[in-house]
Amino acid sequence: ITRMHFQWGWLCFSVLIISSVVAEIENEETPDADVEVEDFDKESQEADVDREKSSLEVVYQTPKPTGEVYFTETFDGELTGWVLSKTKKEEMDDNIAKYDGRWEVEELKENTVPGDRGLVLKSVAKHHAVSAMLTKAFIFDNKPLIVQYEVNFQEGIDCGGAYIKLLSSSDDLNLEYFFDKTPYTIMFGPDKCGEDYKLHFIFRHKNPKTGEYDEKHAKRPDVDLKKFYLDKKTHLYTLVLKPDDTFEMLIDQTVVSKGSLLEDMVPPVNPPKEIEDLSDKKPDDWDERPKIPDPNAVKPDDWDEDEPSKIEDPDAVKPEGWLDDEPQYVPDPNAKKPKDWDEEMDGEWEAPQIPNPKCETAPGCGHWVRPMKNNPNYKGKWKAPMIDNPNYQGIWSPRKIPNPYYFEELHPFKMTTVSAVGLELWSMTSDIYFDNFIICSEKEVADRWAADGWGLKKLVASANEPGMFTQLVTAAEDHPWLWVLYIFTLALPVGLAVLFCWPAKKTDEDIDFKKPDISKPITKGELKQESKELEDDEIELEEEKANEDTAED
């Protein structure tokens, strides 16, 4: 029974180990367990086909919008409507200020969908700028704004962005002069430099008091974004702004950040009602000290400030065998003066010092000094104890006055009208792929558009995913400790087979327990002895019965 319990324990333990390995692989594939998943639209689900099909069997058709849109672009045809910037950045040297970065329209390098092309940023360490007018301007009124597009960092990303700008409407908007100072209403998309992974959502808000524009930045998502920049897969970026002044940012149709335009932007849209009076100054007699030395405290008479903190240990005794006459270091007897040593230039040559070999077996060498110990009489410099300050007034701060620039914006959703979309970027990595831009107001339209474009890319990428063995090796490269689990997991089946199937060695107790009774031959003497014992037992029984009858009479 004990053996069976032991075997079942090994079996349960092996199941736990295997489950942990599988969970590790699944966690690698899931960016964050706490991410809120946006329900796919029914139309998007229709694009889920058998994953066993190869990319060659996918029939691609250029997506077409199924409802009202303000802008769409698939880059599958001629690059019409897009304008390359002919200007340059301000306050920079002419040789690096020009927007001379190259763009190309081409298919993905990996997980290619035949016929599906995108706009690719090709140049390294150059400024890129390209823009296009919307089909019709978007006015922030009573309809949501949905901005959606695809990005693939085909070579990873060292330092650079892949965000888009929605340019503000104006009479003097000229796309040939689109540059970093061109007024925009919204900036949205991924950006990375070093180990700082960002997903921007910035909108420019007009101050009704001054007429000036200020940038309002959404708070950083709590999700780890690193995977989206390094896995070389196509990801879908979506921004949803609603007339109730809320927003959502999604990656691959999963919400990674959401909040309120009034409460979750930095700096806040609405300034404080009161501000500090800059003309107010702290009075000279303002006491900010919560504690002060006790003015009535007196140093004790027996307080000796001259006592040292350490003294020689009077109880210490020089160890037996201490070599007082031996130095700790001696000249190296094997050292030789270099042939090129010039005593006139270099001085008299001396052999280098080495530890005295005689000291290695002795407690010590040289002049013995008593070790130091803490002085029990040491008290240090006397200071008066601290007491609560009776005159403490707290930490001073300037008085508050009404903010002359205060205003209350109740609906920051009502932003400046948008009439164009642009990419104004700089990157240290090339081959950043953009595709399938759409600006609309209906979620169903955006979902259908995503299913016809990004959905197929995702399908092809899934079909081309490496097998389980490759995934295990990749996971172990990121987490070397997984190799221990792999080896242990592979050894478990062998161990379990031995435990369950190998015949166990029989012990002496098992043999004795299972041995049947065997009759032994009985001698005449033993037989007579047993008969005599039986007769004696019968006599004893008759005597006991007679005694019982007498007692009853």
**pLDDT, tens digit, for every residue of 451-503?**
999 999 998 888 887 656 666 666 666 667 777 877 877 777 777 777 767 66
**pLDDT tens sequence across 77-87:** 878 899 999 99
* Strand-pair partners of 84: 130
Q: 427 vs 502, which has greater pLDDT?
A: 427
> What is the predicted pLDDT for the residue at 51?
39
Domains of the chain: which residue ranges? 69-274+412-464, 470-497
**pLDDT tens sequence across 187-221:** 999 998 888 899 999 999 999 989 999 999 999 98
> What is the predicted pLDDT for the residue at 33?
37
**Residue 496 region, left (φ>0) first, then alpha (ψ -120 to 50), else beta?**
alpha
> Quick check: 382 and 109 in contact, CB under 8 A?
no
pLDDT of 550 above 60:
no
> What is the predicted pLDDT for the residue at 26?
47
* Of 89-93, 101-105, 129-133, 228-232, the least confident: 89-93
> What is the predicted pLDDT for the residue at 171?
92
> What is the predicted pLDDT for the residue at 385?
95
> What is the predicted pLDDT for the residue at 39?
44
3-class SS string, 32-43? CCCCEECCCCHH
> What is the predicted pLDDT for the residue at 527?
54
DSSP assignment of 219-260, as one string? PPPSS--HHHHHS---EEEEEEEETTTEEEEEETTEEEEEEE
Work out the average pLDDT over 525-534.
Answer: 61
Work out the average pLDDT over 184-188.
Answer: 97
Q: How confident is the model at residue 43 (pLDDT cuts 50, 70, 90)?
A: very low
Q: How confident is the model at residue 50 (pLDDT cuts 50, 70, 90)?
A: very low
Angle between helices 2-29 and 468-478 (to 10 degrees): 80
Backbone torsions φ then ψ of 82, nearest 5 degrees: -90, 140
3-class SS string, 45-72? HCCCCCCCCCHHHCCCCCCCCCCCEEEE
Q: Coil, helix or strand for 182?
A: coil
| pTM confidence score | 0.64
Class of 69-274+412-464 per CATH?
A: mainly beta
**pLDDT tens sequence across 56-96:** 467 889 999 999 999 999 999 878 899 999 998 887 787 78
